[in-house]
């Protein structure tokens, strides 16, 4: 098992890709802390992991708040005695995050607080625990839009993910000689309930799928397995890297519609 004996803290793990990653990490031997603000769902994830023979615990944490970010790390070390993997997965994309002129300032501030400040706070409070545990791996979720502009305007989200990319590179250099690796996961479109609803419109699907060389959105399991690779010793000579999992989008040239 690739995470045998490791302790992993995953933010935003009550649902979506975070939940799938938590289940996968536990199946690979990690003791997993699920950090989220959706308590009922987070508790159910823990119950499912335990029912499958794994070990997990839930902590309520708004990653944009310093006190709660610190508390989730303290909870992890108090519960499992160490921290080896910090997976900063929590993120938001509000519906009114649109073009530069249309996006409200409050939306910009909230997206930055969760997507960028939240990752920084996770690292600020998590790194001392990683160092105390002998080092480890940081996996920060960026996006393919950190590497290329989004065809659908989402200015705050795009800017926040670009910030995660730049910050992670600096973290990687800062802690490379102290036993901590920091890498980014850059997913493309992923099959979620919202995506499935949109894909039910044949015209919408036809216009979007043409931009994905593999011809389909990704699956949560595929993103989680990429995160597992970065979290484990399989990626032991990688730090400061952006692992792009996008079905080939960033490799393709397309004519604007």
Q: What are the catalytic residues?
A: 157
pLDDT, mean over the chain: 94
Cβ contact 56:36 at 8 Å = no
**7-11 and 31-36 strand pairing:** parallel
Q: What percentage of the chain exceeds 90 in pLDDT?
A: 85
Q: What is the mean pLDDT of residues 227-250?
A: 97
What's the pLDDT score for residue 256? 46
Residue 11 backbone dihedrals phi, psi, to 5 degrees? -85, 155
Residue-wise pLDDT for 216-232, tens only, equals 899 999 999 999 999 99
pTM of the model: 0.94
Cβ contact 161:115 at 8 Å = yes
Residue-wise pLDDT for 16-73, tens only, equals 999 999 999 999 999 999 999 999 999 999 999 999 999 999 999 999 999 999 999 9
What is 7-187+221-244's CATH superfamily? NAD(P)-binding Rossmann-like Domain (3.40.50.720)
Residue-wise pLDDT for 78-117, tens only, equals 999 999 999 999 999 999 999 999 999 999 999 999 999 9
**pLDDT band, very low/low/confident/very high, at 202 (cuts 50, 70, 90):** confident
Least confident of 27-31, 55-59, 132-136, 199-203: 199-203
Q: Is the pLDDT of residue 194 over 60?
A: no
Q: What percentage of the chain exceeds 70 in pLDDT?
A: 95
């Amino acid at each position: 098992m690739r995470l045998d004996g490791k302790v992993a803290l995953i933010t935003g793990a009550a649902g979506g890709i975070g939940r799938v990653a938590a289940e996968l990490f536990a199946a690979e031997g990690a003791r997993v802390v699920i950090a989220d603000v959706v308590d009922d769902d987070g508790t159910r994830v823990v119950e499912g992991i335990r029912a499958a023979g794994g070990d997990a615990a839930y902590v309520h944490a708004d990653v944009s708040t310093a006190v709660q970010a610190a508390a989730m790390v303290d909870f992890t070390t108090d519960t499992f005695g160490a921290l080896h993997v910090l997976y900063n997965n929590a993120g938001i994309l509000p519906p009114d995050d649109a073009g530069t002129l249309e996006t409200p300032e409050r939306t910009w501030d909230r997206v930055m607080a969760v997507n960028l400040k939240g990752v920084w706070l996770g690292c600020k409070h998590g790194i001392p625990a990683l160092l105390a545990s002998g080092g480890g791996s940081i996996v920060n979720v960026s996006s393919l839009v950190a590497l290329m502009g989004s065809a659908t305007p989402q200015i705050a989200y795009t800017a926040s993910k670009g910030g995660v990319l730049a910050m992670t590179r600096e973290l990687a250099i800062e802690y490379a000689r102290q036993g901590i690796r920091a890498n980014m996961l850059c997913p493309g479109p992923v099959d979620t309930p919202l995506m499935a609803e949109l894909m039910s419109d044949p015209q919408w699907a036809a216009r979007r799928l043409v931009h994905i060389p593999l011809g389909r959105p990704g699956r949560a399991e595929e993103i989680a397995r990429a995160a597992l690779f970065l979290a484990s010793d399989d990626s032991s000579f990688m730090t400061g890297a952006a692992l792009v999992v996008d079905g080939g989008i960033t490799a393709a040239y397309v004519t604007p519609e």
